[in-house]
Amino acid sequence: MKITPIEIRQKVFAEKMLRGYDKDEVIAFLQSLSQEWERVLEENREYRIKLEVTQKEVQKMRDVETSLYKTLKTAEDTSSQLIEQANRSADLQMREARNQADLLLNEARAKAQKMIQDAENQSRNKLEETLTELKSRENDFRQLERLKESLIKEIQNIASDTLDRINRVAEKGNKNVFEDKIREVREALENKPKESTISLSQNTWDTATKNGEPESVATGKPAETKASSTPISILQGSVVVKNQSKPATEKKEDSSPSKGPASFFDEIK
């Protein structure tokens, strides 16, 4: 039952004749009780207001808590997604970096292998060229050796033929003129036939070596030399071959007397 302070003040008690209460005391008590009750009601009203305010604040806090929870949850989800995405991106970049590194490494290995192969091919080609050049030089040397031997033989033949001619001229009456020459030639042929120094003129040597192989070496036959057109002279035990043109006119043995004595080569011819 709800009782207000006014009801307490206006409460009327039935009067009894016997053993009743003092009316003033009852009124004073009721007055005091109404005041106290009024105070309690006022406090209760204030408490209710405070409770409502508190409830509103609690509701706000709950809303804030809910919002914070949602925000935290969203942040956690976002963080998880970002971490997962970062991990996936890192893995992808790592795989791409590995693939790129493998590609670069393979390219570097291929280039190195190609450079090594090219170097080996160049070295092999250079070696083959060197061997070919050495063989060519060896062949040239052998050809020159054969040419030297052929020329030595030709010079010996020319010298022998010349000696025969000198002997024939000497038998005709010029023995005193050619004795020293004959002796030198014979000594050169007998003592140093293989150590004779062969000296060709520049034109003759250029002609013999112009094409890399002289006629006597290329054909395998000694070069033909006319003994009558190649006079020789003996100088200090060495045979020197000189290309000289044949004189335009030959002197006959029974020709008219000349102004001076005949030359050595004229007498040989």
pTM for the full predicted model: 0.32
CA atoms of 75 and 250, how far apart (whole Å) = 131
Neighbours of 234 (CB within 10 A): 20
What pLDDT sits at residue 108?
A: 94
For the chain, which ranges sit under pLDDT 70? 1-3, 13-21, 170, 172-182, 189-269
What pLDDT sits at residue 177?
A: 53
What pLDDT sits at residue 68?
A: 87
Q: Which alpha helices (H) appear in the chain, and where do they start and end?
A: 5-10, 23-169, 175-191, 202-209, 215-219, 264-268
- Taking each helix axis as running N to C, give the angle between helix 175-191 and helix 23-169, from 0 to 180 degrees, rounded to the nearest 10: 140
**30-36 long-range CB contacts below 8 Å, 24 or more apart?**
33/8, 34/5, 34/6, 34/8, 34/9, 35/5
What pLDDT sits at residue 247?
A: 40
Sequence-ordered list of residues with C-beta below 8 angstroms from that of 165, at least 6 positions apart, any chain: 268, 269
Residue carrying structure tokens 């109404």? 34
List the domain boundaries for the chain.
Answer: 144-246+261-268
